[in-house]
């Protein structure tokens, strides 16, 4: 099955943002540990500020983007936030396009089909 370029852009953007969220979540937890064990008070304060900024400013925006992109891809609420494969995307987008150039099951384009007078050109829906 072919997936449109727009859908693939959303697919790649979604997976990229999921990776960003996961990476920032890991970074925030590492920074939280460093904030407790840093040598100087200045370092502890810097790491603590970084954790606060990540959790309060950056992560909510990225999670909102992931949510929006996931909904555009037609994902269930339970699936949003998890990376998806192309196979899953194809299964989610298993819709038939109804254009003149759609391929028949045999692989022959519709425009090559023989004309039959009185028969309406259609595809099973």
Please, is 1 exposed, middle or buried when counting C-beta atoms within 10 Å of its C-beta (0-12, 13-18, 19+)? Answer: exposed
Per DSSP (E only), the strands in the chain are: none
The phi-psi region of residue 107 (left if phi > 0; otherwise alpha if psi is between -120 and 50; otherwise beta) is: left
What share of residues in the chain are helix, strand, coil (percent, to 5)? 60, 0, 40
Evaluate whether 13 touches 66 at the Cβ level (below 8 Å): no
Domain boundaries, the chain: 5-96
| Per-residue pLDDT reduced to its tens digit, 57-94 | 999 999 999 999 888 888 888 888 888 888 877 776 65
Lowest-pLDDT range of 1-10, 16-25, 67-76, 105-114: 105-114
Q: What angle is formed at CA 99 by the lines to CA 97 and CA 101, rounded to 5 degrees?
A: 115
Q: Give 108's pLDDT tier (boundaries 50, 70, 90).
A: low
């Amino acid at each position: 099955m072919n997936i449109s370029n727009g859908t693939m852009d959303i697919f790649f953007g979604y997976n990229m943002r999921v990776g960003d969220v996961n990476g920032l979540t890991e970074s925030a937890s590492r920074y939280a540990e460093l904030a407790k064990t840093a040598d100087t008070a200045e370092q502890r304060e810097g790491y603590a500020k970084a954790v606060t900024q990540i959790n309060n400013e950056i992560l909510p925006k990225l999670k909102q983007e992931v949510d929006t992109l996931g909904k555009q891809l037609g994902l269930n609420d339970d699936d949003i936030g998890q990376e998806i494969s192309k196979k899953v995307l194809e299964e989610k987008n298993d819709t038939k396009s109804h254009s003149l150039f759609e391929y028949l099951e045999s692989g022959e384009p519709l425009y090559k089909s023989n004309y039959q007078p009185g028969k309406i050109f259609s595809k099973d829906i």
